[in-house]
Amino acid sequence: MSLQDFIDDAISPWLNDGGEDNDIVLSSRIRLARNLDKVPFPTSGKEEPLEKVLEYMEEEFNGQTFNGFKDFQLAKISDLDPVEKRVLIEKHLISPNLAENERSGAVLISKNEQVSIMVNEEDHLRLQIYYPGLQLKKAVDTAFEIDDWIESKIGYAFDEGKGYLTSCPTNVGTGLRASVMMHLPALTMTNQMNQIVPEINKLGLVVRGIYGEGSEALGNLYQVSNQVTLGKSEEEIIQDLTSVVRELIDSERKSREWIVQQSGIQLEDKLFRSYGILSNSRIIQSKEASKCLSDIRLAIDLGWIKGISKTILNELMVLTQPGFLQHYAKKGLSPSERDVFRAKLIRERLTLEEEK
């Protein structure tokens, strides 16, 4: 496999399709938490019913196609080695929690990786769908279509008063978690994110790092999502989140204009130094690589670095993670070996971009 072939696999195909405000919003995600009716929830600790859920999902949905989402393939967690599980986590197709379920855990993934359905994570089913850029309305409409397709074959645990029943109380009601992944370097550089995050939390929303709860904002990437599902309609959740995201987009753009006016050549020097580090370093840790990639993406958006696609941040943020590095190397790598291999891949990737 050539490096170019690997890059094609490293980034999910749907990410190449653009989308509204994709200079700041990398992706929109809808996740629906669902449980089967009259079957003990995964948190009950009873494995036999969960194994039957897995068998049923494999029989009914493996290899199926729905509305252009082709060839859903089921992967059992027990059949994956540690590196394969890490790769799926890095591509946001499964959660770290699901990766630990060796007995009854599985995931159904569409061919273009835009849809993944986690089986026996915290709930029996967690349906995820992604769209590039800010496309929450389109994503939620599609998610409900897929949800109806699944529900036509199985019955969900549902209460007329409470809504969809879930393992975690915060998901009861709609069972809907909407989120966007945003690149906010200017708001971070000006220390505004420290003030913004508490204000967003007051609105029933939450700001997390790139891998969700408990993760840090590597590369100035933030995941903004709803916190509450009970007592709000799906439409209200999407409207509230979209409104806040649009305010963040506006604030980020104004901050970019401000730091360019205030810093000028100093900012340009900082961003180009990051480009120089990635182009020439022989050893680089994940955190430093993420910071430099964020700087390059900002320089591209500002028009200072030309001839390099802005999707490079999407690609290399995945390509340089531990799972993918070891997958490409076809062997386990120590942390120090990963730092060397990461630097090599980044240099080669930038060279490929410059030769286009």
Beta strands in the chain (DSSP E): 25-34, 73-76, 106-109, 115-119, 125-132, 158-159, 163-164, 176-183, 205-208, 221-226
Query: Is 126 one of the annotated binding-site residues?
Result: yes
Which is nearest to 114 in space by CA: 24, 36, 19?
A: 19
**Encoding tokens for residue 232?**
């709000």
CB 129: neighbour CB atoms within 10 A?
26
Give the C-alpha separation, 255 to 202, whole Å.
23
Query: Is 31 one of the annotated binding-site residues?
Result: yes
Cβ atoms of residues 34 and 165 within 8 Å: no
Query: Is 193 one of the annotated binding-site residues?
Result: no
Query: Is 209 one of the annotated binding-site residues?
Result: yes
Query: Is 212 one of the annotated binding-site residues?
Result: yes
Place of tokens 């930038």: 350
Query: Is 208 one of the annotated binding-site residues?
Result: yes
Query: Is 211 one of the annotated binding-site residues?
Result: yes
Query: Is 183 one of the annotated binding-site residues?
Result: no
What phi-psi label fits residue 27: left (phi over 0), alpha (psi between -120 and 50 degrees) or beta? beta
Q: What sign for the dihedral angle of Cα 278, 283, 285, 288?
A: negative
Q: Residue 325 is inside which H or E element, if any? A: helix 322-329
**Encoding tokens for residue 289?**
């690589």
Q: Residues at the annotated binding site? A: 27-31, 92, 126, 177-181, 208-213
Q: Residues at the annotated binding site for ATP? A: 27-31, 92, 126, 177-181, 208-213
